[in-house]
Amino acid sequence: MFIKLRIILFFVAILFFSLLLRNNSFTENALNSPQLKSKIYDFNLYKKKEAIRDAMKHAWRGYETYAFGKDELLPVSSSYNQNWGVTLLDSLDTLYIMEMHDEFNRAKKHVEKIQFNTTLPGHQTSLFETVIRSLGGLISAYELDESPIFLKKATELAELEFQKLSILTGNKTYYDKTQKFIDLMENSKKPISGLYPRDIDIFSGELSGKISVDAMADSFYEYLLKLYLMYGKNGEQYRRMYESFVDSAKKHMIFKSSGKLGLTFVSDLDYKDYLPDGHMGHLSCFLPGLLALGSKELNRKHDLETAKELMKTCYTLYETSATGLAPEDVYFNFDLNNIESASNSNFNPGANRNPKKDTDFDVENTSYVLRPETVESLMILYRVTGDSIYRTSMTKINISTGKIQWKVGCSSAQECIALSQTGFAKKLGVTQKQAEAKWEEICNSVIPIDKAFAPISQLVNTCNFLTVGDPQIDFCLGGGIRAGMLTEIAGESSAGKTQFCLQLCLTVQLPIEMGGFGGAAAYISTEAKFPIKRLSNLLPNFYNRLSIPGYTLNEIDSNCVNNQNNLVENVLKNVHTKLYLSKNQFVFAILYQLADYVERNGIKLLIIDSIAGIMRFGDQEPFTISQKDKSWVFDRDKTLFLISTQLKIIATRFSCAVVCINQVSDKFMENSERNVHDIVEKIPALGKQWSSMINARILLQLKRSNISSSVDKIEGGIVDHLNKNRRWIEAINIPWAYPRKCEFQILNSGIKSII
């Protein structure tokens, strides 16, 4: 009886569902019901949310395993930089918000052990980074968790995150110090109302330099709005300054590109006449989020449209790259004579940049260094507008970022943007499908090699500068030659490249307080034997010129030192030389032997003279290479990528300066463009790929005496040549320095600036 009943119920159920399925309107309504859609949407959203949380868990697991309590994990080598544990402090609020409570509690216990009154020997602390990461992290953790230890440690760090600390502690001292600076800025003399040149003389308070919302300026404008939001009606000064900035930026800095896409961008204004130069860095992508937040909180509805347009541009930089990752720096092409291309057309037409090009922008720096600005702006736009397109864009960027995930963390990609897939195929002379296979080869065979990437956060951790031995040249280079970086010195024959590097071999041995590193130099030659005689002759004259105690010739004589050769011998012992004429031997030495040698011998300066001499054309001359077979370009660039990465790892690991000398070629110019009085423009060898692999580029320029007449006009002034060659040193691509040029001469005592 029971079995018969089950059979009957089974057939009744089949009949019931068959009737339902025949009713199309029922099935369509059911599948399209808001309740079912909501459940499907929530499930997809949950999966995306968990994917992001998993990425954070992956990164934190690597940090906790290999670098817990240290400043930074170096994901390639599984080592670390250390001091106060900035990664831990900066991640406290993220751990809490993502409900990673076990990890948060372990981090909280470590915070109790941090001693802010001591630093490691030789460690330089960035005031700005300490404020926003260490102190900001502690204050955020306190507001979320309310554990007294966070406020206690924030107070110990003190006098950095001044205003919020005043609110939490009730100590007005911190507020007074920052308010004095805000008053100074508002009352300062500005070339354009509301816009502040990014250099401030700490003694006079005078403003100078370019106007930008990029590096060294972005946070100031961002904090004006956030200070107002923190103080409300008591912060009208901050609101006034913020609105003045936005109004002026929209008038003088925000334009449309002249290419097919017509992208809205925010441009730097150059430091001479404050005209737009088209440069926009990834850091500038904080602006759409800031404008969106201001539009909502200050009821400035017109700012939201500008925010949306800028947001579209920032995401386009990701979307149009081969990897889905955005470049660090681009230059937009624009025409200010076209009123549709600019928010204000009252500019000197000379400010235009490539107005007839079809492309909207040119990539200047192809690195992707894990910048958060675009994602943060997307989040704010989503919160303000509710438009799901911004959430979708965030998901796509998260997927692209996963391409550079290392086994213990996430590393930066030095060469992620260089070419689109079409451009990559064109460069190699192959089909797009073959180019995609080559791209996969890069991702799957080059990148997994140990030490394949050196994160920028690691590269900029130390800020030691090696003096050139001349204050004016040091100033031109933003402080000298920076430790932890790969610097290129390019120039034609006789421009002074070797002389420059020989001088560095001497300054590196000076004590730290004199601008040196107190260490040895390694000089790797690839074209000729090391010029030992030149260095021997330079040494006493150079040290005598600097009047360094214990090194001048007068002191040598008065102290009865045997002779000048003793000084020369002692210094030369600290200059290690090696000659490689074989490319294979050179590459093997760099990749597998150099790091150990640098560590054993206390090398603080590494020079390669020259990288182009051994890598420029591979094994063939360019005119012998078939147009159809350009795999040598790919192989050479892949090798250069490995070499540059290894050199940067060595630079950061041992806090030494690495310098590569590069050759140059003449830039082809039409006769109509050429002026007989001009210095022929030189282009560094090895192409754009190599340019994206270095951290800084210095160009040495030469104007031979027989090129021009005895009198010439240089940068606005009349200068007498006196029948001599003239030389200039120019910082053409140094992220921490403004573009500057300094004339110098080569004397028996070394390179010396001409004031």
Lowest-pLDDT range, 11-20, 44-53, 652-661, 668-677?
11-20
Q: How confident is the model at residue 426 (pLDDT cuts 50, 70, 90)?
A: low
* pLDDT-above-70 percentage for the chain: 68
Q: What pLDDT score was predicted for residue 264?
A: 95
Domain that holds residue 662: 456-753
From 218, 470, 474, 492, the catalytic residue: 218
Considering the domain boundaries, does residue 212 fall inside one?
no
Q: Enter the tokens of residue 460.
A: 């900029």
Residues 414 and 469 in one domain: no
Q: What pLDDT score was predicted for residue 567?
A: 66
Give pLDDT tens digits for 78-99: 566 666 788 899 889 989 988 8
Give pLDDT tens digits for 735-752: 777 778 889 999 988 999
Burial of 507 (0-12, 13-18, 19+ CB in 10 A): buried
Give the pLDDT mean for 312-320. 93
Give the pLDDT mean for 498-520. 90
* pLDDT-above-90 percentage for the chain: 23
Q: What pLDDT score was predicted for residue 316?
A: 94
Residues 369 and 462 in one domain: no
Lowest-pLDDT range, 145-159, 296-310, 504-518, 642-656?
145-159
Considering the domain boundaries, does residue 478 fall inside one?
yes
Catalytic residue at 71? Answer: no
Catalytic residue at 129? Answer: yes
Considering the domain boundaries, does residue 451 fall inside one?
no
Considering the domain boundaries, does residue 440 fall inside one?
no
Is-contact 713 721, C-beta < 8 A?
Answer: no
Residues 510 and 598 in one domain: yes
Is-contact 365 288, C-beta < 8 A?
Answer: no
* 169, 187, 205 - which closes a domain: 187
Give the pLDDT mean for 730-737. 82
Lowest-pLDDT range, 121-125, 252-256, 485-489?
121-125
Q: What pLDDT score was predicted for residue 499?
A: 93
Higher pLDDT, 263 or 85: 263
CATH number of the domain within which 740 lies = 3.40.50.300
Q: How confident is the model at residue 645 (pLDDT cuts 50, 70, 90)?
A: confident
Considering the domain boundaries, does residue 97 fall inside one?
yes
Which one of 117-121, 235-239, 285-289, 533-537 scores highest in mean pLDDT?
285-289
Give pLDDT tens digits for 532-551: 889 988 888 888 887 765 55
Catalytic residue at 743? Answer: no
Give pLDDT tens digits for 70-80: 877 765 555 66
> What stretch of H or E contains 689?
helix 687-693
Dist CA 347 CA 355 (whole Å): 14
pLDDT over 60 at 6, yes or no: no
Considering the domain boundaries, does residue 437 fall inside one?
no
Residues 182 and 298 in one domain: no
* 155, 187, 219 - which closes a domain: 187
Give the pLDDT mean for 639-666. 88
Dist CA 643 CA 588 (whole Å): 10
Q: How confident is the model at residue 122 (pLDDT cuts 50, 70, 90)?
A: low
Q: How confident is the model at residue 114 (pLDDT cuts 50, 70, 90)?
A: confident
Q: What pLDDT score was predicted for residue 572?
A: 86
The Cα angle at residue 753 between residues 747 and 755, in degrees rounded to 5: 125
Q: What pLDDT score was predicted for residue 673?
A: 45
Per the structure, the count of domains in the chain is 3
From 222, 373, 415, 743, the catalytic residue: 373
Q: How confident is the model at residue 423 (pLDDT cuts 50, 70, 90)?
A: low
Q: How confident is the model at residue 594 (pLDDT cuts 50, 70, 90)?
A: very high
HSE at residue 136, side-chain half, CA atoms within 13 A, is: 13
* pLDDT mean across residues, the chain: 75
Considering the domain boundaries, does residue 200 fall inside one?
no
Q: Enter the tokens of residue 59.
A: 């990164």
From 64, 129, 143, 436, the catalytic residue: 129
Residues 162 and 275 in one domain: no
Give the pLDDT mean for 570-587. 89
Q: What pLDDT score was predicted for residue 497?
A: 92
pLDDT over 90 at 243, yes or no: yes
Residues 373 and 298 in one domain: yes
Considering the domain boundaries, does residue 51 fall inside one?
yes
Q: What pLDDT score was predicted for residue 636?
A: 79
Cβ neighbours for 450, distance < 8 A, ≥ 6 positions apart? 76, 77
Q: What pLDDT score was predicted for residue 37?
A: 38
Residues 468 and 409 in one domain: no
Lowest-pLDDT range, 498-502, 576-580, 643-647, 681-685?
681-685
Q: What pLDDT score was predicted for residue 398?
A: 82
Q: What pLDDT score was predicted for residue 81?
A: 67
Residues 558 and 665 in one domain: yes
CATH number of the domain within which 371 lies = 1.50.10.10
Q: What pLDDT score was predicted for residue 183?
A: 85
Residues 110 and 259 in one domain: no
Give the pLDDT mean for 423-451. 46
> What stretch of H or E contains 93?
helix 86-97
Residues 362 and 462 in one domain: no
With CA atoms as reference, report the closest residue to 337 among 322, 323, 321, 348. Answer: 348
Dist CA 206 CA 382 (whole Å): 40
Residues 178 and 279 in one domain: no
Higher pLDDT, 551 or 641: 641
Please report, in angstroms and rounded to a whole number, the separation of the first and last CA atoms in the chain: 112
From 71, 161, 303, 328, the catalytic residue: 328
Is-contact 58 71, C-beta < 8 A?
Answer: no
Give the pLDDT mean for 289-314. 95
Catalytic residue at 50? Answer: no
Dist CA 129 CA 144 (whole Å): 21
Is-contact 375 460, C-beta < 8 A?
Answer: no
pLDDT over 90 at 422, yes or no: no
Q: What pLDDT score was predicted for residue 736?
A: 74
Q: What pLDDT score was predicted for residue 144?
A: 87
Is-contact 206 185, C-beta < 8 A?
Answer: no
Residues 102 and 247 in one domain: no
* 158, 187, 216 - which closes a domain: 187
Give pLDDT tens digits for 447-470: 222 222 223 233 233 347 899 988
pLDDT over 80 at 279, yes or no: yes
